[in-house]
Amino acid sequence: MTSARSADSRSKVRGAAALFMLLALGGSIALAGRVAPANDLRRPEGPSTERAAPSLPAPEPTRLGINLFGLATFNRQQVFSNLILQSEWFSSSGEGWSAFPAAQLDAQGWVRFLEPGQTAPRPIVLPPAPFRRVAVRCGYEGRGRIEAGGVARIGERMDHGFMMDLAPTGGEDEGAWIELVETDPSDPVRRIDCRLADRPDNERFSPEFLSFTKQFRIIRFLDWQRTNDNGVARWSERTLPQSATQVGPAGASIEDMVDLANQSGADPWFLMPYQADAAYVRAFARLVHDRIDPARTVHVELGNEVWNSMFDAARQARREGVALGLGNGDPMRAQMLRYARKVREAMQIWTDVFSDRRERLVRVAATQNAWPELATIILEDGDTLRWIDAIATAPYIWVKLDGIGVRDIDQVFAMGPAAIDASLGDALKHRALAVRHGKAYLAYEGGQHFVTPDLELARKLQRDPRMTDLYKNYLTQWESRIGGDMVLYASTAPIGSYGAWGLQEYAGQPLDQAPKMLAVQRFLAARR
C-alpha cells in the first residue's frame, strides 16, 4: 500500500533538523515528504476485474533512480554551493520569526526595505559531514549590514562582503542563519552569495551533492517542483536561476533541474503541475528540449498520485470528473477518467515538442500499486495508449506499525519478506497489464514504508543493520521478478514522525550508520 506525502504548503513540522531557531522563536516551516498512510488508500474489497496475465518477457536490466527530497535546509543536504539558496527570508522584531511580507521583496525575492525595528533572518544549509569548522566567504551587492547566528559567526568584514565561520557538530537540532539588519532602500542588499571559501564563484552545485546524484540513472524532481501543493502554474512567475531562493512556491528553476541531470549524467523525470495550462506545458517542454543533453531520456508525468485522495489535485480531479458526468456515478472512476484526459492533453504537447527525438521521451501515467483496476481505467479510456509509453506505481515495503513498540523490532523485520512479496506481487500485475497493452512498467517511487509517530522506534528501525538486508532482498527481487526502472524515495532527510524516507539522514553520513544507503551502493557496485 502506498501513502501520500505532505504538500509543502500544508504539512507543518516542528522539531526537524535546522529548525531549532524557529522552534525557540515560535515559527514554523512547511515540510515536503511522505506522511502516515490514510485510511482510504487500500483497494476496496470486492471482485477483481483483472484478466489472466500473459507470458511475460524476461525482466529488463534494473536502473536505479532517486527522488530528490525537498530543498529546505532541514533536509540536511547541501545542494547549491551558495548556502542560502535553500531557504527564504523570515521577519523578526526580536520576539520570534514570521513569514516575510511579500510587499517588501523585489521581483527576484530580495529585501527592498526593512521597517523600523525589523530584521530579516535567513537560514543557511550546513555543509555535509565530516562536521568541522569551515570558513565561508559571503559577498553581496548594495548597501547594508548582515549579522549571523546559530553555529555561524561573522569574521573579517570587507567592502560588500565578509568572512564567516561555521562550526557544525552534527546535532539534529543545530542550524545557522544570516540576518539582514540594515539595508539602504535606494541601494538594497541583494545577490547575496555565501559559499565555502575554497569553492569557485561560478560553481552552482555542491560537489558532494553531485557525487551523490551521479550514482543514479534517473532523477525525479517531485519535491523540488513542489508538485503536491497543486498551485496554479504561471510561466511568468516561475523560479529562475537568478532568483533569490529556489524553495519558493514555484519550486526550483527548470534550468537547475535540467543542468543537474546533464551534470549527473542522469535522465530527468519532471511532473507537470495538474493546474498548468497548455501554454505552460509547452513552454516547459520547449525549455527542457532545448537545454537537455540530447543523449538524455526525459520522463514526464502529470501531477503526482492523482489517484490519492490525500492530495488536493486528486480531490480536484474527482470534482471535475463528477461535474463532467464521467464514471457512470462512480466518483473514483470519474476521477481516473478525468486524470486520463488531462494526461492525454499534456502528453500531446510533449510529443509535439520532442517530435525530432521521440525516442528520448518517456510519457508516464501513474496509478496505485495495490489497485490494478485503476490502471485499466486509464489505459482503456479513449486513445490514452497513443499518448503514453509507460505506467508507473510505487511498490513500497509496507508494514503496519500500529501497536508496535521498540521491543517488537524483531517482529517488524520478520514481516519484511512477506511485505516485499506482496508489494512486488502487485507490481508484477501492473507489469503484466503494461505488457498486454504494449507499454513499459516503471516504479516512480519505492523503498521502505515504515511510518510511526514513535521516534524512538523509528530511529531504531531505520538504523538497524537488518535494514541493509531488507533493501538487498527488495532490490534483488525487483531485479529478478520485475526489472526496469526503480526510482527510490528519497535522497536525504532526517527521521521524523512523518516517516524516514531518506536513504541517509544527512549528507556525508558514514555508510555504517546508513544501512539503506549501504544496501543501495552495494547493489550498484555489483552491477558496474
DSSP state of 343: H
Specify whether domain 5-47+61-77+207-525 bears CATH 3.20.20.70: no
The mean pLDDT values, 10 residues at a time, for the chain of 528 residues are: 32 32 35 40 44 75 98 96 98 95 98 98 97 97 98 97 96 94 98 98 98 98 98 96 97 98 99 98 98 98 98 98 98 98 98 98 98 98 98 97 96 98 98 98 98 97 98 98 98 94 98 98 95
Instruction: State the residue for C-alpha cell 535546522.
Output: 18
User: In angstroms, how far is the first alpha carbon of the chain from the final one?
Assistant: 32
Number of C-beta neighbours around residue 170 at 10 A: 16
Q: Please check whether residue 228 is in contact with residue 5, taking contact to mean a CB–CB distance below 8 angstroms.
A: yes
Number of C-beta neighbours around residue 454 at 10 A: 14
Pairing of strands 60-67, 218-220: parallel
For position 43, what pLDDT does the model report? 53
For position 184, what pLDDT does the model report? 98
To the nearest 10 degrees (0 to 180), the angle between helices 455-463 and 515-525 is: 30
Enumerate the β-bridge partners of residue 267: 218
Q: Where in the chain is the domain with CATH 3.20.20.80?
A: 5-47+61-77+207-525
For position 31, what pLDDT does the model report? 37
Name which of 366, 357, 365 is nearest 295 in CA terms. 357
**Whole-number Å distance between alpha carbons of 370 and 41:** 9
Q: Which string of DSSP letters, residue by residue, matches 419-462?
A: HHHHHHHHHHHHHHHHHHTT-EEEESS-EEE---S-HHHHHHHH
Q: Please check whether residue 67 is in contact with residue 220, taking contact to mean a CB–CB distance below 8 angstroms.
A: yes
DSSP state of 489: E
DSSP state of 119: B
The one-letter amino acid code at 299 reads H
Residues in contact with 200: Cβ distance below 8 Å, sequence separation at least 6, in sequence order: none
Number of C-beta neighbours around residue 301 at 10 A: 26
Name which of 44, 35, 43, 31 is nearest 3 in CA terms. 35
Pairing of strands 176-183, 60-67: unpaired
The sign of the dihedral angle between the CA atoms of 512, 513, 518, 519 is positive
DSSP state of 480: I
DSSP state of 476: H
The upper half-sphere exposure of residue 153, i.e. CA atoms within 13 Å in the direction of its Cβ, equals 7
Instruction: State the residue for C-alpha cell 535553500.
Output: 86
Assign 522 to helix, strand or coil. Answer: helix
How much of the chain is in helix, strand and coil states, percent to nearest 5? 35, 25, 45
Q: With residue 65 as reference, give the H or E element that holds it.
A: strand 60-67
**Whole-number Å distance between alpha carbons of 235 and 245:** 17
DSSP state of 481: I
Q: Please check whether residue 177 is in contact with residue 139, taking contact to mean a CB–CB distance below 8 angstroms.
A: no
